[in-house]
Structure 1
């Protein structure tokens, strides 16, 4: 009832205002306001977009490029215009997009406009919303619905952010229509304090007939504008006049067609302008230090005192328990939270609420470790860029994660607070793999190398076949060893997966190769947290080991686990790097006992190329314990270690050739006559 009454009065207000309108311009804004009242009557004022005339500081592009309709595609972008005004008390960003729908799909896509903002410190004003059909302009307030929605950061955990998204749905959009809209967003993230940092995208996967950017600032400003790595192909100009500095960028027919699957996470070919007054790494340290400073908290002090009291004789065990507390006792929420999402909460608050993002978990870990007498310092790293962060601009956005540098008794460890189920010894628990870190200590102006410490063979599988002839059952036992980070990942998985479920999963895996396979004895799991080692054992009985083909019995062994790492791209024709590789060495051993009249010729294959090391060998086993009469013992060993994590496009054909060579040597077949 309330909704219908509100809608009724809003419609009446719209009619009255429209009667008062004297010209087309006034009618446009009056109709926009009325539509807004109808469509967002239940949104708070801070979330509702305001419709207003274009600000005077905006430089309007009056003529659009006259471009022929492309042969393919669903949309044609005629203009993307971005402007930033830094002359006022709060920065204002202007954006205008003009796009032509070329197909039904393009019309559907073009009819949906989304504007993200943070109402806590930003407000949105919409300045134009029009459609041109056959040269006739139609303003859209009467045929547009507006919804303000909360942005979900992590749909799996239903974690909501402080962002809002204004969704505008335009009605009756057809192929050939040109949609023209513009808006401004005013406000700056208070986390930055007196600093400013903004990226302005100027190139996209879609072709843009005209891309424009403009930045205004006082000539006394310490903010600089750059074109990082000169990726933007347009021209960046600087003009100083009447106390203002104006940067302008123009690019015609820009097209950065680099969208391909299986790219490395760090690969970022799309151009942007970097607007910032962060000039050195120390600037970032100086900015971040106040955010990561806390007073002694009672809760963390009480927890540390309890740990110290229970483990008074073992200082290392105290540190490990403090690490485990921050990792396992406090839930990790906000996986997508960036460094500038919010100021981290104090450790005391994080303990009481029982959850936190990576910043807050790191700060809690630092507090606990310091209470125990260790030196612990937050350090900024990049999950996304890893070691390539050195090539990124000096910017807080080059980092997206916080870890802890722990120094104790002359040794250093780099601990990730978001890891869970880690080992119980500092020297065996997995360390951060972020390669480079910016340690938050006064005076620091350089990135520090994070040593990559991991077991030489984190993943090893030993398969033991007792092979009998086709008239008898054969047997398979499997031992899987997982070390370091692999063990911790599995420990987390096993914490919510029963042995019965895991056994069923493994049985189904081997049943794909042997239809008449059954579990011989229950699966067992041994977890040595001191060594950070998990060992899983399985055993099966196989009734159909041998398959008949061409009057011969066939049985094949293959390095299927190593094969999982020998991957190729979906297409060999690429413009961008292909992502592959694995940390550490993967080893698979297949041991077989065969009837003693079997003749086995040793075979060995080795590949050592710029991409990976691969080795396979079939040979007799001479050092077998508990030899069985009437049997010979052989072993097929496979190993793989990647040398890099990506392949450049120019090297891709050679990489694929090397993978195929490895595939060719990954299978060994045993045969004997049916009669």
Structure 2
């Protein structure tokens, strides 16, 4: 059974891999050296019907679109004799055709097949030149799936034809004898009546006993067979002429097959297929006992509720993916004990081991045959084992069904949120149902990208901080990528990726890989870069600078090739759930208008938002797909809409160095608001200081000096006013600039803008109040005034309440304006304020030291 390629695998050959490959190469050379007995030269079988080559003249060579033209394809099969005859006659039209057909390659499995060559002739100017010689027949074991760690034992017999010329006709035939014994003489195949090459004449013939019942099902208006009964045989014939090449449209789904064909199978039902192959997934009592001892030792200290997860990850990660699939091994799995001992196996073997191991721990599990990409069509096909090319495991837990693919390594999450590829349908084995069942497709395949640019000055450099969060299948893929490749090489690839936009970009700090595999199945990757040339001079006017911000990760989904006059479905990447957010932190205020657009169709939705607030630009691109393909008649609209998306992706920020706006300098209005606020709160502070006293709970003669835990309070309240003054100084331009006032006083286009303006003024007033109150608290603290405990409690409570209120209001006005870093810092501020309040408010309420320390009342003019 051929395995599907579930994801890209970069192969890193270590010492063990080298040893395996070297051993395999030595065995292959020894194996191939004995293949001459499987290859012979002889006459064609007597049951073959002679079919004449086409002698028609080619009049439209330019329309053929190939370097050669097949005058005859002749395929004849004798099921009872397990003999399969092929006859090709091909004319070479140009020099490209010489390259295409001068090598004859025939694949066969020597473990159960023999090949007999009947003729290889070159027909030139009406004369036939014999090119068949045993010495010219070579064999090689190419193993085309070796990069996927699969070895199927197929051997290629090839003949290199010499002295091939333009205009020659190559005429050759051969017979392959033998069927895989795993089929148990049950016949099933597909016969196609159109290929990717033009054919002048196509002949197919199938001979079988009239006692053998064959089911036939025709697809895509395939021609019906001419059926003949002769003695004890039944003969099926098809003969077609002048067949055009089947040309696929670009980007056609892999499951789509428009070729006229007939499906032939000796199986009457899927349960028959399941019955025939279920027996290969059974284990004897003796072997089960041995397996039980091994796995119970492996998982003896694992809690019961973690068993399923531990067993799954062990078989996915610790049992290496490797398969030798020649002959019987194409459909029969290696026994679980051997797989566990050798620590490798193909999909069948790993699934068999996983199912049996789970059963030992009383978890219901069964192997299930699936197809890696053709699950959509299986229900329409005749029952046949060839309808599948992969094997996974069906698990029943707490009356719920789950599906595990044991060939996916580094997979995260629990059984409830485990990613399962979209196999759609499968054939259940070793279960009383033994029939096709639907496979629930569930995935949390989200990608969230945050790119944050910190720009020091216009025309200068910038820092770029990128946080990418993958979930579901995306997390699995990234986890596998980082496990298989060196992190430095990955970082280099990432750097090269962004150099397409910023050629001089440099790494600022090492890439971070943060993995939450067990619970959320999320992978977070953090990158940091320095860009010394973010700004570019306009070619029309060098005094104008511009900078481009572009979501490179989104381009692969939106930059589509055109497909005019399409007749086939169009493949859509699915599922895609991508949000690409770009945050630009500017050194000065900017005139940015908010934007919003939506482009959508039945299969996708794209939204684009531009928001601006307080020297911060937020560009948010969201792209999501809802299905894996669209009908041909909707392809033009789909592509056209994605061209519109392409036009939305690039965002240019321009700056005219000759222009000096009116919004530079200080806003005297805002500064006056701040000064008035400080003056007003100072007045109230003095009133509180001079007019508010409270009876001491301890005699003054028993008063204590500031000590104990109050030392920590003393440090805090001393530093707080200083920090407030420094913060107001560093944020002076933000609060009191003319640009800020211009934003506040502009004609607001939305309630959000107006709310932000009011929020800025409120923060100025609050900061003035906070500064005055913190100074008052410090004075009262060191004078050990009786009113200090009550006022400091108010101080802690109000600080926490305002921090929460300010954060909630700001985020609720427009959540997209704030980066993840902004949000984290805001939440940290709330947590710190809450911690301080929870610790010190009860302390000032019940502490005896507090009552014995703060015993002084106001008794005069003095402040210190």
Question: 1:58 maps to what in 2?
Answer: 48
* Shift, 1:495, TM fit: 1.2
Compared with structure 1, are the counterparts of its residues 333 and 612 closer, same or farther at alpha carbon in structure 2 (3 Å cutoff)? same
Residues 1:582 and 2:574 aligned together = yes
5 Å matches for 1:449-468? 449-455=438-444, 458-468=446-456
* Shift, 1:563, TM fit: 2.3
**Are the aligned partners of 2:583 and 2:617 in contact in 1 as well (CA < 8 Å)?**
yes
Mapped to 1, the partners of 2:196 and 2:632 lie a distance apart of 18
* Shift, 1:219, TM fit: 1.3
5 Å matches for 1:630-669? 631-669=614-652
* Shift, 1:142, TM fit: 5.1
Residues 1:216 and 2:179 aligned together = no
Residues 1:92 and 2:83 aligned together = yes
Question: 2:6 maps to what in 1?
Answer: none
Residues 1:483 and 2:471 aligned together = yes
Mapped to 2, the partners of 1:142 and 1:347 lie a distance apart of 47
Residues 1:327 and 2:316 aligned together = yes
Select the residue among 600, 605, 608 that pairs with 2:600.
608
Residues 1:619 and 2:602 aligned together = no
Residues 1:75 and 2:63 aligned together = no
Compared with structure 1, are the counterparts of its residues 444 and 196 closer, same or farther at alpha carbon in structure 2 (3 Å cutoff)? farther
- TM-superposition CA deviations, 1:574-632 (whole Å, max 9, x none): 443332323141111112222453122110010121231000100135xxxxxxxxx53
5 Å matches for 1:90-129? 91-129=82-120
Mapped to 1, the partners of 2:308 and 2:232 lie a distance apart of 57
Mapped to 2, the partners of 1:180 and 1:47 lie a distance apart of 24
Counterpart secondary structure, 1:266: coil
**Relative to total residues, which structure has the larger strand share, 1 or 2?**
1
Compared with structure 1, are the counterparts of its residues 637 and 471 closer, same or farther at alpha carbon in structure 2 (3 Å cutoff)? closer
**Are the aligned partners of 1:100 and 1:177 in contact in 2 as well (CA < 8 Å)?**
yes
* Shift, 1:291, TM fit: 1.7
Residues 1:349 and 2:346 aligned together = no
Mapped to 2, the partners of 1:156 and 1:479 lie a distance apart of 33
Mapped to 2, the partners of 1:300 and 1:642 lie a distance apart of 45
**Relative to total residues, which structure has the larger helix share, 1 or 2?**
2
Mapped to 2, the partners of 1:157 and 1:436 lie a distance apart of 24
* Shift, 1:223, TM fit: 2.1
Compared with structure 1, are the counterparts of its residues 108 and 673 closer, same or farther at alpha carbon in structure 2 (3 Å cutoff)? closer
Compared with structure 1, are the counterparts of its residues 398 and 342 closer, same or farther at alpha carbon in structure 2 (3 Å cutoff)? closer
Segments of 4+ moved more than 6 angstroms: 335-340
* Shift, 1:65, TM fit: 3.8
Compared with structure 1, are the counterparts of its residues 110 and 479 closer, same or farther at alpha carbon in structure 2 (3 Å cutoff)? closer
- TM-superposition CA deviations, 1:51-82 (whole Å, max 9, x none): 22222111111463423354234212111111
Residues 1:359 and 2:367 aligned together = no
Compared with structure 1, are the counterparts of its residues 149 and 261 closer, same or farther at alpha carbon in structure 2 (3 Å cutoff)? farther
Q: Once superposed, what is the RMSD of the aligned Cα atoms?
A: 2.6
Question: 2:424 maps to what in 1?
Answer: 435
Question: 1:139 maps to what in 2?
Answer: 130
* Shift, 1:422, TM fit: 1.4
Mapped to 2, the partners of 1:309 and 1:340 lie a distance apart of 32
* Shift, 1:453, TM fit: 1.5
* Shift, 1:261, TM fit: 4.2
Question: 1:624 maps to what in 2?
Answer: none
Does 462-471 or 145-154 show the bigger shift? 462-471
Q: Name the larger-Rg structure.
A: 2
* Shift, 1:665, TM fit: 1.7
Mapped to 1, the partners of 2:562 and 2:326 lie a distance apart of 32
Residues 1:567 and 2:567 aligned together = no
**Are the aligned partners of 2:513 and 2:526 in contact in 1 as well (CA < 8 Å)?**
yes
**Are the aligned partners of 2:40 and 2:115 in contact in 1 as well (CA < 8 Å)?**
yes
Compared with structure 1, are the counterparts of its residues 524 and 63 closer, same or farther at alpha carbon in structure 2 (3 Å cutoff)? closer
Counterpart secondary structure, 1:309: coil
* Shift, 1:445, TM fit: 5.8
**Are the aligned partners of 2:109 and 2:326 in contact in 1 as well (CA < 8 Å)?**
no
Residues 1:511 and 2:503 aligned together = no
**Are the aligned partners of 1:65 and 1:210 in contact in 2 as well (CA < 8 Å)?**
no
* Shift, 1:279, TM fit: 2.2
Does 333-342 or 197-206 show the bigger shift? 333-342
Residues 1:309 and 2:300 aligned together = yes
Question: 2:394 maps to what in 1?
Answer: 405
Question: 1:18 maps to what in 2?
Answer: none
* Shift, 1:505, TM fit: 3.0
Question: 1:6 maps to what in 2?
Answer: none
* Shift, 1:476, TM fit: 2.0
Mapped to 1, the partners of 2:524 and 2:101 lie a distance apart of 55
Mapped to 1, the partners of 2:479 and 2:190 lie a distance apart of 40
Residues 1:169 and 2:160 aligned together = yes
Does 367-376 or 271-280 show the bigger shift? 271-280
- TM-superposition CA deviations, 1:1-36 (whole Å, max 9, x none): xxxxxxxxxxxxxxxxxxxxxxxxxxxxxxxxxxxx
Structure 1 alignment gaps of length 5 or more: 1-39, 622-630
**TM, length-normalised to structure 2:** 0.68
- TM-superposition CA deviations, 1:396-421 (whole Å, max 9, x none): 22111101011122232100011001
- TM-superposition CA deviations, 1:119-173 (whole Å, max 9, x none): 1111111222222222222222359721011131324367532211110222222
* Shift, 1:391, TM fit: 3.0
Mapped to 2, the partners of 1:60 and 1:567 lie a distance apart of 53
**Are the aligned partners of 1:47 and 1:164 in contact in 2 as well (CA < 8 Å)?**
no
Question: 2:656 maps to what in 1?
Answer: 673
Compared with structure 1, are the counterparts of its residues 473 and 151 closer, same or farther at alpha carbon in structure 2 (3 Å cutoff)? closer
